[in-house]
Chain A
Amino acid sequence: MSQNTILAMRSITKEFPGVKALDSVSLEVRTGEIHALVGENGAGKSTLMKVLSGVYPTGTYHGDIEIDNRHQQFHSIKESEQAGVAIIYQELALVKQMTICENIFLGSEIATSGIIHWDRALKATKKILEEVGLDLDPLTRIINLGVGHQQLVEIAKALSKKAKILILDEPTAALTIEETELLMAIIRKLKERGVSCIYISHRLNEVFALADRITVLRDGKTICTRETKELTQKQLIAHMVGRELNQLFPKGHRTPGEVVMHIDHWSVFDEESGDIALRDISLEIRKGEVLGIAGLVGAGRSELLLSLFGVWGKRISGEIRLQGKRLSIKNPHDAIKAGISLVTEDRKRFGLILGMDVEKNITLASLEKIAYNNVIINQNEEVKASRHYVSELAIKTPSIEQLAGNLSGGNQQKVVLSKWLMTEPKVLILDEPTRGIDIGAKSEIYTIINSLVEKGVCVVLVSSELPEILGMCDRVVVMHEGRISGELATTDATQEKIMHLATGS
């Protein structure tokens, strides 16, 4: 290890049940360096940072971590903080109802026998805030700050802990241009003071403007570490997406039919912030094809789907037509009745009732099909219907009375899929349907999608995995910051082209 190397992570391997999230990854950061960590969603960036910050304690992974030439074994976040590592998460970890001062010293209060010295804390807060260029009253509550200032308070908090290595995970995702510039200026200032920074971002412009060196991760492996000067954006994207498409995708030849669903000039405002979230989105969905929607986290893909389904957004304008008929969808029930089904991402939160059995989960959205007068459930029909889907989708479960929470991820996803297939949709929308499930189950789900398309169902596939988009879809719409930034036929789409559209570069 050379003298000016502050952090060395060597051969880090981290496995989750069924998935190797990190496969012998190495990362070296120099003192006073801004080091960018890039890669697709799921490449392993966040996992690597969780290993570094002690979220995954020593023993749950293989490999070495050295800081300042000393071997480190973190059992908790506290220990990594003591070694000088501070992580600033995508979701801010501040207590919104507390003041800046209270937040900065949360967990490390200046106190004797449990009694806090507020005067000393306030003074120290003032000084730290000045260091990050914030002229704020330390008694301001976090809730009254914009997201950008909150981000800076997070950094101030990290500095108060004498951080030597600062990890920023997508720090600018929610920031305006001015806030982003302020943040970048402060990171440069910290660099001059010898603080090292690991900068994770999808926004390649920022990476090129800021980073001294770049490490690319892909599929849980280190692809390369380069000086920023030696790379072009094009080369970087090639490194990020570089893999060959394999035979995972059994797509046959398809001939797209007539347009079944139109979405015209769809604009939606954010429910909470009131800002515009989706701008003037128009889409056509055809029979017999899979339409892909690609984009980075935060591009507005899930928001688009949820707003179409009647559960998100306000001041919605634009129209949806299904088979020529104009729809007014106020809630999921309207959507389901019209023939639109949405397989949401995050099956545990939005898809399943984990404490209910497989049978009841499958029939939940179509009880009217098996109930007399929509009141009394015909339990025999219910068993029959759920058994039908369990065998058709090859759901591995000891019985239909097994609780959904006890199944593996892939089988849980198949239960969710069954629930929506039972509604017999004309348009089936899938949001990240293969996230977090193993290759075998993935390929089964692709086969199911293909057979649905053959039966004439229109499928919309939202995915962050570009190979999946390219392998499964006939057309790809790319979203960037709430707009459609381009549309490509898969025949001439490449991962590079999609990445360019998705990063807005």
Chain B
Amino acid sequence: MKGVGTPALSLLGLAGLWIVAAALTADPTVLPQPWALIGPFWRELTSGELPYHLGHTLLRVAWAFLLAMSIGCVLGLMMGRSERVNQWLDPWLVVFLNLPALVLIVLCYLWIGLTEAAAIAAVTLNKIPNVTTVIREGARALSPDLDALAGVYRMSFMDRLRHVVLPQLAPFMAAAARSGIAVIWKIVLVVEFLGRSSGVGFQIHLYFQLFDVAMVLVYAFSFIAVMLSVEWAVLQPWERRTRRWRTA
């Protein structure tokens, strides 16, 4: 089966597994049937609770993503282009890569306070090392001949960046963005779980305390749906656009 057939079948299989597991459990407080989520979902949607909390989480994801990608790209480019900078920053990178996400989150809350800035800083700091590592590899693979070309023809810094460097880095940026968005939204939920009073993570924390599995699933699936939309509506079209010259 080609195109969307196989993924659709695969998702149907997952739904089937859920239905069977829910039937065998026979306890909707532990695992409700998929259709049992429709009512709670609709209530949350129409009351405005779901859009409110989703919006807060999305805003945090967007900020952390933009900051992590911007700082990570600059650091990765500098480290990939300059061995001296790399020698200085590589030990830091190794430390931050191996620092557990939870430790950074707790430290940010302790040092900065239970604020929005601390939440976004914690997520950003967790993601920067990964973006930096990927972009550094891309910067190391930049073509020396194109570099020479830009130098001989005296292309301006911005022209070099836009037309020579960034197109070469595009596959690495796409990889960093894709893995970045996947990791960031998960960390945002943990950050909200631990120290915010809004967002999907906060709601999951609330319903966890109430042992309301249905509502936990409603918020989890709603957010997964939004992130998949971002993947399909933003990331994939952008990636297709940057790869247009390869398939022409």
State yes or no: do A and B come from one complex.
no
Interface residues of B (CB under 8 A from A): none
